[in-house]
Every structure is written in structure tokens, then in C-alpha cells.
């Protein structure tokens, strides 16, 4: 489990597979705790947006990154078969991008831990 922290925003929790992708997009290691300085955040936001655009359907992005897509079955499907609902990378990255924007505004770092 990844935990992202900033003095400018609430903490964000993310499953390991998705957290690995996120910090990897930043060019950082997801194996250990890390820090993103305010001077790095504009590039980090641009990298997240580019990744989300490239893998906009969530499924392809997850398969390309070799991670779980976080699909959840939908209950009550009329034909009795469960559909899969995917969460896009853009949706996953939105809270983190908000955290980065708030952190830039206040000139504070974002840190993360991995457990």
C-alpha cells in the first residue's frame, strides 16, 4: 500500500500495483519511500497526464504496465453475467494531481511510503 502525504492536502492511499505505476511515471522507485520536490511537480503532472492520455481506457494502460486494473463486478446484470468496470488512469491520478497542484502553490514536498 502506498501512502502519499503533503502538508498542503489530505493523505492519499493507493494499492501497490497502481502506486508502482504512478511513481514509475515520475521516474522514481516504487520500492522504497520517496519524495517529490515542488520544483519537480510540473513535470510530474505533465507525465501523469501524458500516461493517462496514452492509456485512457484503463484496461490497456494496466495491461501495458503489467498491473491489476482494479476491475469490480457490477451487480444485477440482466443477462446474469457480471460486467467489468474499469477505473481509468486519469481517474486514479486525479487526486494525486490535485495534491501536487496544492503542494506547488504552498511550495511543500510530497512524500510517499510503501508498506
Burial annotation 60-74 (CB, 10 A radius, 16+ → b, else e): ebbeebebebeeeee
Please give the model's pTM, rounded to 2 decimal places. 0.76
As given in the structure block, the three cell numbers for residue 23 are 511513481
**Sign, Cα dihedral of 25, 86, 93, 52:** positive
Output the tens digit of pLDDT for each of the chain's 115 residues: 999 999 999 999 999 999 999 999 999 998 999 999 999 999 999 999 999 999 875 444 444 444 444 433 444 445 544 556 688 899 999 999 999 999 999 999 999 999 9
pLDDT score recorded for residue 55? 85
How far are the Cα atoms of 12, 55, 107 from residue 115, in angstroms, in the given order? 14, 27, 27
Sequence-separated (6 or more) residues with CB below 8 Å from residue 31: 114
Amino acid at each position: 500500500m502506498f501512502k502519499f502525504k503533503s502538508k498542503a492536502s489530505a493523505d492519499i492511499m493507493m494499492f501497490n500495483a497502481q502506486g508502482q505505476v504512478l511513481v514509475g511515471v515520475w521516474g522514481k522507485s516504487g520500492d522504497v519511500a520517496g519524495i517529490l520536490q515542488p520544483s519537480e511537480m510540473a513535470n510530474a503532472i505533465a507525465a501523469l497526464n501524458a500516461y493517462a492520455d496514452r492509456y485512457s481506457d484503463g484496461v490497456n494502460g494496466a495491461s501495458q504496465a503489467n498491473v491489476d486494473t482494479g476491475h469490480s463486478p457490477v451487480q444485477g446484470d440482466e443477462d446474469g453475467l457480471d460486467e467489468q468496470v474499469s477505473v481509468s488512469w486519469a481517474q486514479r491520478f486525479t487526486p494525486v494531481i490535485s495534491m501536487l497542484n496544492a503542494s506547488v502553490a504552498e511550495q511543500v514536498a510530497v512524500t510517499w511510503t510503501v508498506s
